[in-house]
Amino acid sequence: CSVPFSTWLSRWSLWAIYIAHFAMNWSNYIIMQWLPTYLAKILSASATSLSITAMPYVVSSVCGIGWGHLADRLVQGGSSILRVRRLMTLIGLVGPALCLALFTEITSLVLAVLVISIAMGLCAANSSGHVCNHADVAPHHAGLTFAIANTF
């Protein structure tokens, strides 16, 4: 890499991406690691009913495709790429945060999985936001900037 490493840590545009990436990963890893335990211990879900915890990931996969199509349409409709990236990141970070706040009040297994599925579906908007923003900000070094973001 001919660009000094300090460049990747000194650009504000990259720090915005790094922070958004950290926030997305934080919520994803909390859900991934603690959802089955929470459902079993707090909502008394049986071991067989925990297979329902796959649902948020199915929803996320389907929604990710939809968010991508929406982002493309917005750009084709005249919105700037930066505006679309910001909108998708806003949806992908604030939406799940609100769902997780609501989740703390839920006492039904089905409703809990539904709210987490919605959270993961909203989180998938990040794929059309800051996740692909690496290619916009550092087109020849997107892999490197993504690796740095994933380190945080």
Residue 14 lies in a domain: no
- Predicted pLDDT of residue 120: 97
H-assigned helices in 48-80: 55-76
**Residue range(s) defining the domain that contains residue 111:** 48-151
Name the pTM for this structure: 0.90
Residue 101 lies in a domain: yes
Calculate the CA dihedral of residues 16, 21, 81, 116 and round it to 10 degrees.
-130
Mean of the pLDDT values across residues 74-83?
Answer: 97
Quick one: tokens of 30?
Answer: 């909390």
Residue 74 lies in a domain: yes
Share of the chain above pLDDT 70, in %: 99
Determine how many CB atoms are found less than 10 A away from the CB of residue 118.
19
Residue 43 lies in a domain: no
Are residues 20 and 96 in contact, defined by beta-carbon separation less than 8 angstroms? no
pLDDT digits (tens, 9 = 90+) for 41-61: 999 998 888 888 899 999 999
Distant-in-sequence, close-in-space partners of 86: CB < 8 Å, separation ≥ 6: 129
Give me the chain's average pLDDT, please.
Answer: 92
Residue 139 lies in a domain: yes
Tell whether the model's pLDDT for residue 1 goes beyond 70. no
Mean of the pLDDT values across residues 5-23?
Answer: 88
Residue 103 lies in a domain: yes
Quick one: tokens of 43?
Answer: 């909502």
